[in-house]
Amino acid sequence: MKASNWTRFLVFVAGLNYLLSGLALLAAPMWFFKNIGSFGMFNRHYLGDLGAFLLPMGIGLLIAARKPHQHYMLIAVVATGNIIHAINHIYDAVLGQEGLSHWLSDTIPLIFFAIIFMLVFWERRQQSLAVESSV
């Protein structure tokens, strides 16, 4: 079964996002800290660790974007990571009693992305099961 164009596009964009984030975290951690993720104090090692995980995840998603139904377990792992990431931001927003602007610019987009990725996983899983049962 062929993946829909929106699924391939979403997996590709997510892969590109993780790839570029991973590269930035590894190659320019101070720039990343100042411009994207200025949480707490700067720690080059932890930012590098994050980049070391995001970079291969991005590469994997870029590969998976061609045939997402064959890589639905990778998509499931990434979807789970997005859900945990969103929960972490919800926790920080509630704990920090953040205002509406923080929720709209930070937390809600992560929740939305996590939900979309879970829907992609579910669609890919269903297609993979359909392919397996027809064999």
Domain boundaries of the chain, sorted by first residue: 5-134
In order along its 135 residues, the chain shows pLDDT tens digits of 566 888 889 899 989 999 999 999 999 999 999 988 777 889 999 999 999 999 999 999 999 999 888 888 898 888 888 889 889 888 888 988 888 887 887 788 888 888 888 888 787 777 777 777 776
Smallest CA-to-CA distance from 79 within 44, 121, 126 is with: 121
- Determine the pLDDT at residue 40: 81
> What is this structure's pTM?
0.78
- Cβ neighbors of 92 (< 8 A, separation 6 or more) are 98
- Cβ neighbors of 69 (< 8 A, separation 6 or more) are 1, 3, 124, 127, 128, 131
Smallest CA-to-CA distance from 14 within 90, 125, 124, 116 is with: 116
Alpha helices in 28-107 (DSSP H): 29-35, 44-64, 72-95, 100-102
Smallest CA-to-CA distance from 18 within 49, 83, 62 is with: 62
